[in-house]
Each structure stands twice: as C-alpha cells, then as structure tokens.
Amino acid sequence: MFARRVLALVAVATVLLASGTMVAHADHAPSPTSVVSWREHDRHRAGTAWTDIVTVTPALGRTAELQERVDGRWVTRSTLTVGDGYSAPVGVRLTHHWTARPVTWWRLHLPRTATAAEATTPAKKVVATWAPSDDPASPQVLVNKERPLTPHDWAPPDLVRPDVATLGSHDLLRPEAAAALERLDAAAHAATGERLVLASGFRPHEYQEALHARYVREHGLSAADTFSARAGHSEHQTGFAADVTRAGVPFTDFGTTSLGRWVAEHAWEHGFVVRYPEGSEAVTGYHAEPWHLRYVGADLAAYLHHGTIATLEEAFGTGPATSYPPARS
Ligand SMILES: [Zn+2]
C-alpha cells in the first residue's frame, strides 16, 4: 500500500517536472539560430589554408563545431568559439584533411544553448584544385614537352647525395627529394628486404643535350622523343627526378620486379609519383617508365593517389603534352 503510494507520488512528480520543463520552454523559447554567408560550393587550392567568414546569430560566445563527412558520418574536425556579441564573423580553416580527398563535404554545427536553438548549415562541397608551378625550384614545377624549364639551363644550387646505393654518377638530388628517397628506400627494405639503387638523379642541361642527341642518332628524332626528353624539358634537370632500380637489374626491367611493384604502390607515401605510367602515353608523350620517380611533395602525391589521378598533367588540369612546340625558324 505504502509502496504503491510512493510510486504514485513519483509518477505525479515526474509529470509535474516534465510539464514544468515544458512551461519553462514555452516561456523562454530559444531564439532561432541563423548562419549567414555559408557558401555551399567552394573550389580552393589544395594544401593552402583558407578562411570562410560566416555570421552566426545569436553568437553570445557559443561553440561551433566544424564537421567533415567521412565515410558517411559527420566528424568534428575543430571547434571554434563564436565571439561575444549579437553576431560574429567566424574564421574557418580547412587545411589538412582534404589533400587525401579531392572532394570533401563540410558543415558547421551549432549545438543548442540555454537561449539559442541548435542549427546546422547545409553541407558545403569543397573541391581541391592544384596549379602547376613555373618555378624550377618548386616540387610542384610541371616540366613536360610543352613546358620547358625557365631558365632553360637551370641547375639547382643545393644538390645533395642521398644516403642510398647509387650507380656512382648523376647521383645528386634536391635535399627534400634526397631525404624522401632515403625514407622510401628504408620502407621498401622493411617491406621487401630489398634495397633501391639510384640509377640517375640530377642531370645537367649539357648532359641531357648530349644524351638526347645520341638517342636521335641511334633511333631517329620521333622515336627518341618518346623515351628521352630534350634538354630544358627533362625532370632530371630539376633534381626532383630519380630513376631507381634494384641491384643487379637494369632500370628498364625494374617495373617487372617485386620491388618495382612495391614502389609503384607505395611511392606516394613518401611524396613521389611514378611520372610516366602505363596507359598514359597519350597524356605524357612518353612510354611507360616504372623506374622514373618524380618528387612532388606529400600533399600532391596523396592527391594523385587518393583521386586515382594518373599524371601530373591531369592533376593540374593542363591537358596532354605529347609534342614539342614547332621549332622557330
Ligand atoms: Zn628518368
């Protein structure tokens, strides 16, 4: 009897509490939240920071969650405090997650506060874009048959010898590329038990000129142009290109080795791309060269890998570069 009365009282209290809460809500309904200037589609240069200015009303020092959609779920990437005041501009920095995903989706979520209703912006589609560099010292320089190096006889001032096995000549690279090749070699060794050999790194303008001229004598100009760059158009002149192989294997056979297959899959993890892949002859203007790695930096290499983009020409959107501009008479 007593127990039943206690239960009844609890039930009444619960109803009172619930209705009390409801009454409190009705008296102080949270004001609707609005977010102004949240663009729903953006294109931005990948790898750079950018700011989205939004105005949150009311702001009142509340917290906003910047969320990215990953595998169908919204993940909070950062939180920001919207400054005190009726409204406030919010700087949103979307930098580091999107090199892995060329197209990303973001939204701003504002949890409910005592006085303001919760709100979520529409999802923003952000497309990352890359632009090629004309600076021969930049890892993002695009060198191909249509884009010569400027200056034509460029030679990097800071070449170093990477701490990997070499064939003893043309064994220099730019410092960033040399360090990356050392990491790639260490990872390859850990995974396969085999070591990389650097067959050809930096090659100066004069050497490339002589090399191309020799191939032209041996094979004719049009054939030579499918496997050898003319001077001023060779990535080897930047110090960012490395022809690699396995000890005892001519580099032209590297692609058929297990080490070659491992490198094709993992080079991007260390900032390299296989520059002239199989099936891209109509874009690059070169036969496949599984041995020719080009250092482009971790972000751009990840962008190509995750976007399944085969060539730098496609990553930069510059179009195919299969032939040299006609010689000026
Ligand atoms: Zn090469």
225-282 pLDDT, tens digit per residue, is 999 999 999 999 999 999 999 999 999 999 999 999 999 999 999 999 999 999 999 9
How far apart are alpha carbons 35 and 82 in whole angstroms? Answer: 11
Distance between Cα 207 and ligand 1 center (Å): 13
Q: Is 266 exposed, middle or buried (0-12, 13-18, 19+ CB in 10 A)?
A: middle
Q: Does residue 81 contact residue 67 with C-beta atoms inside 8 Å?
A: no
What is the pLDDT at residue 95? Answer: 57
Question: Tokens 């482009």 belong to which residue?
Answer: 296
Angle at 310 between CA 305 and CA 316, to 5 degrees: 90
What is the pLDDT at residue 86? Answer: 59
What is the pLDDT at residue 24? Answer: 38
Question: Tokens 């995750």 belong to which residue?
Answer: 306
How far apart are alpha carbons 288 and 50 in whole angstroms? Answer: 37
List the domain boundaries for the chain. 34-129, 165-316
Distance between Cα 7 and ligand 1 center (Å): 83
Question: Right CATH number for 34-129 from 3.50.50.60, 2.60.40.1930, 3.40.190.10, 2.60.40.10?
Answer: 2.60.40.10
What is the pLDDT at residue 22? Answer: 37
Distance between Cα 200 and ligand 1 center (Å): 7
What CATH topology corresponds to 165-316? Answer: Muramoyl-pentapeptide Carboxypeptidase; domain 2 (3.30.1380)
3-class state of residue 181 by DSSP: helix
Distance between Cα 297 and ligand 1 center (Å): 18
Distance between Cα 45 and ligand 1 center (Å): 28
Kindly report the pTM of this predicted structure: 0.75
Token pair of 262 as six digits: 């491992």
What is the pLDDT at residue 115? Answer: 87
Distance between Cα 186 and ligand 1 center (Å): 21
15: enclosing H helix or E strand: helix 2-27
**297 to each of 94, 96, 235, 269, 293, how far by Cα in Å?**
19, 14, 15, 10, 12
Q: Does residue 97 contact residue 104 with C-beta atoms inside 8 Å?
A: yes
Token pair of 202 as six digits: 């930096």
Q: Does residue 80 contact residue 90 with C-beta atoms inside 8 Å?
A: yes
Neighbours of 21 (CB within 10 A): 10
Question: Mean pLDDT per 10-residue run, the chain (329 residues)?
Answer: 42 34 53 88 76 83 89 90 69 61 86 92 88 95 96 97 96 98 98 97 97 97 94 97 96 96 97 97 96 94 88 95 80
Token pair of 40 as six digits: 């729903």
Distance between Cα 267 and ligand 1 center (Å): 15
How far apart are alpha carbons 301 and 165 in whole angstroms? Answer: 24
Token pair of 1 as six digits: 């009897």
What is the pLDDT at residue 9? Answer: 38
Q: For residue 312, which of 180, 174, 131 has the smallest C-alpha distance?
A: 131
Q: For residue 273, which of 130, 161, 151, 147 has the smallest C-alpha distance?
A: 130
Q: Does residue 252 contact residue 260 with C-beta atoms inside 8 Å?
A: no
Bridge-based pairing state of the strands 73-81 and 165-166? unpaired
